Amino acid sequence: MNIEIIGFIAAFTTTAAYFPQVYKIWKSKKTDGVSLLMYVVMFCGISLWLYYSLEINRPSLIVANSITLLIVSIIIFFKIKFK
């Protein structure tokens, strides 16, 4: 089995873990239980992972980190907007 397939499966599952949080915030318009600092730190870390992924040219990591960065950005936006 191609190792990139395993990477894409891992990327899908870990990235999908953020969707329930985004959906809950979007529906409730409440972010009381969400830590802005945690998501800002996560944004920085994922940005570095994306840079690393681009440097080593690993498609599974590039896709996963790009999507996760977008999702985390949405959560940060909602946290600021619904404060």
Q: Read out DSSP for 11-52?
A: HHHHHHTTHHHHHHHHHH---TT--HHHHHHHHHHHHHHHHH
pLDDT above 90: residue 1: no
Pick the CATH number of 3-81 from 1.10.1740.10, 1.20.1280.290, 3.30.420.250, 3.20.20.70: 1.20.1280.290
Confirm if 13 and 63 have CB atoms less than 8 A apart.
Answer: no
Tokens of residue 46, six digits: 């994922």
pTM: 0.86
Confirm if 71 and 15 have CB atoms less than 8 A apart.
Answer: yes
Q: What are the tens digits of pLDDT across the range 22-67? A: 999 999 999 999 999 999 999 999 999 999 999 999 998 999 999 9
State CA 9 to chain mean position distance: 15
Residue 2: its pLDDT value, please? 86
Residue 64: its pLDDT value, please? 92
